[in-house]
Structure 1
Amino acid sequence: MREKLKRIAVMTSGGDSPGMNAAIRSVVRTCAYYKIECIGIYRGYQGMIEGDFINMTARSVNHIIHKGGTILKSARSKEFMTKKGRQKAYKNLIKHDINALVVIGGDGTFTGGVVFNKEFKFPVVGIPGTIDNDIYGTSHTLGYDTALNTAMEAIDKIRDTASSHNRLFIVEVMGRDAGFIALNAGVGAGAEEILIPEENLGLDRMLESLKKSKSSGKSSSIVVVAEGDKSGKTVFELADYVEENLPEYEVRVSVLGHMQRGGSPSCFDRVLASRLGVKAVELLIDGKTNIMVGLKDNQVVSTSLEKAIKGIQEINMELLRVSDIMTT
């Protein structure tokens, strides 16, 4: 396979996450190590359709390992969801003599890769890049560790002002379908209550917890809420509900939003990106396709892209139990 594999393309797609640049760098330099040309595709699948390609060398990825975001940009492509759009993308890859593809992103990116592989038998390997950590087949996705620490540091700062004014702060963190950031950041920052999509704990339980905190002498409290939690239609409605039922609390809301996606990646994310990038290229060299590289028990492993998409990343039940004990 190594004799036939002359050009590998790399792209980022979907939401950006810290560590994507480190993964691009790893793919490019691994290609250089094995004397394979590497092509960067700007703006994900849309750039593939439009032929927005650039030759990349080991030197072209200097000084990017520490940068957030993605130098190859990212975009969502409705055109790629059509057979005609994918046909255009395939023709561009063939025209540029590209033999294989490394896609960095989340489940939407991987879904596109699976369809593309099935239709054109084109070799695809995925690297999981999403701060939500909701991809099956890996304990950590690129950007999760950085986003987690960003959220925890923000909550620490919010607690300072909550304590100064005897306030209750409801802090919303990212996690539309998964509560990994909320649960871990909440435990790490000592939150009084944590609300996540996986566990519908109910509003009554939250009120009881806050009442206990108040009666135990706590003058301020922090509630961490994943954006996908359904306890209230919005975090602001949740705040109104608390104020109505616990008028002794002065409630404030802080939505951390996209700041969690930005910033320089942590050491963990940089190392993880480097390891996954090397493995992705080596799997393609070995003739493997339609798989994702990930981390399990600190070992780089691979799983099928279809399993990565369809599988469910389970929340850590032991950590849920720890969070219950810590809020006592």
Structure 2
Amino acid sequence: MNELLVIGLYALLAGAVVGALGVGALRLVRHRSILAHIAALLAVTIASVTAGVTAVAQAMFLSAHDLQVVLVTVAASAALSLAVGVAFARRLAQAAVWADQARQRERQLEAGRRELVAWVSHDLRTPLAGLRAMAEALEDRVVDEPAAVAEYHRRIRVETDRMTRLVDDLFELSRITAGALRPALSPVPLGDVVSDAIAATAPLAADRRVRVLAPETGWPTVRAAEAELARVVTNLLVNSVRYTPPDGTVRIDAGRDDDDAWLAVSDTCGGIPEADLPRVFDVAFRGTRARTPAPAGAGEAAPAGGGLGLAIVRGLVEAHGGRVHAHNVTGGCRFVVRLPAV
């Protein structure tokens, strides 16, 4: 019994000395990553055990060979324990990084939702106030001249169409964010989709005196859902036309790289501020300074969007297994969509 107490005392003293040194080492890494903390803690623990075993082995007056066997066994166990602990620490550190990224992403999404509610509330309140005023004017016969009545009716229709487009955008965005969008993929000639999108955008382009240019041939065929792809191209065109000053140019190009087809929409908007480039596809982001649209003409037929068009583009493209990005070019910016080619 006395021998066991002596052995325990030797082990305790040796471990206490190493542990005291280890406390100092832990203080040195207190501002380091979680991986450094766990690695230091493992090293201190293993060093304490090793010191205790070594002290006890020496106190037992083992032969040189037996002592060497004990030390080799302890060293191998320590090395294995340290390796397993460091591997676990790496996984734990990576999990912590992922959790932090998830929290940041959640905060960004929450901020985007609040911003979206603010933008949509503004975009709905403005036309609703105008509709109410025009309806009351017609009801009270404040406006009774045929020409004025016809103009009021036209403006009511325009504002109603605008709100309808905004509601459609919100519905489409809700499908995307909920993961409910499952496009039925099939071979789609990109040239036909671009031609229809140009025709749909022609009134807006004419009103803003913006030229829309596209080659007649060389269009690839992509795997996509035609309706969703048409919305992607139309949204990109409308966005570029809205932000291009009068007498500017919007150009559409396409091609194929290996297994991917690409579609590019370039404009002469003057460029996007570098700080805004990472956010152009965020929900409710409308940009500042260089990308602030000029006032439209009286006959504008385009949606004065709620900052949802490019967010919908990104969601639809990613639902097709593609990707989209934007960058500045000389005198403007360029949006590039990549989709699987047939």
TM-score by length of structure 2 reads 0.22
Task: Judging by fraction of residues, say which structure has more helix.
Answer: 2
> Which entry has the higher C-alpha Rg, 1 or 2?
2
Task: Judging by fraction of residues, say which structure has more strand.
Answer: 1
TM-score by length of structure 1 reads 0.23
- Structure number with higher relative contact order (C-alpha < 8 Å, ≥ 6 residues apart): 1
